[in-house]
Each structure stands twice: as C-alpha cells, then as structure tokens.
Amino acid sequence: MILITGGRGAVATNLLSLLLADGHAVRVGSGRPDQLELPDGVSAVTCDLRDPTTFPAALAGVTSVFLYAEPACITEFVTTATEAGVEHIVLLSSSSVLDPDTNPVAKSHLDAELGLADAPMAVSVLRPGAFAGNARGWSFSIKTDRPVALPYPNAYADPIHELDIAEAVHAMLTEPEHRGEVYHLTGPQTLTFTAQLDLIAELTGRSVTIDHVTPDTWRQEMAEYIPAHYADGLLDYWRRCDGVPTVITDTVATLTGHPARTFADWIRDNAAVFAV
C-alpha cells in the first residue's frame, strides 16, 4: 500500500493516476479528505501533517509514502511510520534548500529533510524548482484584463510541469535503483517572468500587461494571502534571480526517460485557467 499525502495537490493528483494505472494499491491522505474527488476503490484518510493523532490510521498497512515537506511534526511522522513498517518515503522538497541564503520557504523544506535524515527506512528526496503551476496566481489579473503586478519582472525561474514531477515521484516509488537518492528537478528552460507572461499571451490569445511595482507595494498587495516572512523570502529570492538565468538539469529525463515538458506545454494543458 502506498500513501499519498497532500492529496488535493496537482502532483498528488497526477501521481495517483500513474500509480493506479500500474495497479498499485493506493490510499490518499489529506487534512480535508472530504474535499477529495477520488476514483472508485481509492480510500481517503485524514492525514494532517500538523496533527500526529492522524498518523496511525493513515499509515496502517502502508509500505511506501509520498510525503509533502511539512516539518512541524516530522519526528512524530517518522516514529509512527517506523512502527507501521513503512519501508520507503519519497519527500517532495524544493531546490530552494540549495540556496546558500536560506529564506523561510527554504528553511521549511530543509527542516523536513533534516527530520528524515536519521529515519530507519529508505528516504528519497526530490527537489524541484519553480512549479509551472505558479502561473495560476496570475490568472485573475489576466482574465479580468488587469496588469500583472511584478516587483521583479526580469527574475528568472525554471518552471516545471507538475506532471513531470509526478512522473519523477512515480519512478522513485516504483524503481529500486532510484531509492535513497536525492534529485534536483527543473523544467527544460530558464525563463523570466516577462517571458512566461509573453508565452501565456501568445498561446491563449489574451492581452497580458505587466505593472512593475515596488517590492513594498507587492508585499502590501499580498498581505492577505502570504504571511509576511514568506513574502519577504520570495522578494529576496526574486531580487537575487533578477537578470540571472537559472541552472537547468536533465533529471526529468534521467528519471522518466523523456525530456521535461516546456512551459508552453503547461500553458496548452491548462489553457482553461486563463479563459473567462
């Protein structure tokens, strides 16, 4: 039995489909299992990674886990997983942990990695860069013909399709040669935010404009949605990526056997996100 945590996420949803296609027994965990839409025969279970009381039932009979990087109760999770007989955990971390200037986003993922460092079962770690799906955050502005507010429009990222991440996790869960390894994943291109928005405009036919705002203005606009310390961490990271292309890896091909999907591929697959 494989437990997928964070069941409402795009990676988890794609991973579920891949594992079911292979005939694996899968259980999906979420802090809100009532909000899951699962295929017939797939069980949902409460698995709140901030609430250790939900761990025993979620992990009962499980041999492998796909784990989101929530460090709050990672020690308790490892203890319960060990008692349940879990043999392998695949952690979805972040390439932000490779940044020497650790910000709150990176620290959260690094703390999760460190919490698994001495775990008795095999632990595999996947460190993707920027999710292509982060572009969903621009959808409201684009659909309402409003400028997209950006403090660093020329900051580079390495947008990776969530399906590529799911396929990489699938390989780590099902192919023994990848067990216990650490992989850094990126998309196939390093693109500025401006270039990403230009591609969205080109492929959706929508008019997209940018409002180059100050970091303080952006922080104030995001105050309702992003905690201040995370906003500061993002701003600092974007500042250091301003005009600096991201290093690209070929790890998607190594794990999946095919080149990483492009940001244009992601836009085509998610065109409805930007449709009125």
Per residue in 146-196, pLDDT (tens digit) is 999 999 999 999 999 999 999 999 999 999 999 999 999 999 999 999 999
User: Rounded to two decimals, what is the model's pTM?
Assistant: 0.96
Token pair 């492009």 in the structure block, residue: 262
Q: Do domains 2-128 and 130-160+187-246+261-276 have the same CATH topology?
A: yes
d(CA 6, CA 48): 9
Per residue in 141-150, pLDDT (tens digit) is 999 999 999 9
Contact 175, 19 (CB under 8 A): no
Mean pLDDT in the chain? 96
For the chain, what are the domain ranges? 2-128, 130-160+187-246+261-276
d(CA 142, CA 145): 5
Say what percent of the chain tops pLDDT 70.
99
Q: Mean pLDDT across the stretch 52-65?
A: 98
User: Is the pLDDT score of 100 beyond 70?
Assistant: no
d(CA 267, CA 170): 23
| Residues 208-225 as b or e (16 or more Cβ within 10 Å = b) | bebeebebeebbeebeee
Per residue in 26-46, pLDDT (tens digit) is 999 999 999 999 999 899 999
Q: Does domain 130-160+187-246+261-276 have CATH number 3.60.10.10?
A: no
User: Is the pLDDT score of 257 beyond 70?
Assistant: yes
Contact 156, 192 (CB under 8 A): yes
Dihedral of the alpha carbons of 22, 27, 32, 33, in degrees to the nearest 10: 90
| Fold of the domain spanning 2-128 | Rossmann fold (3.40.50)
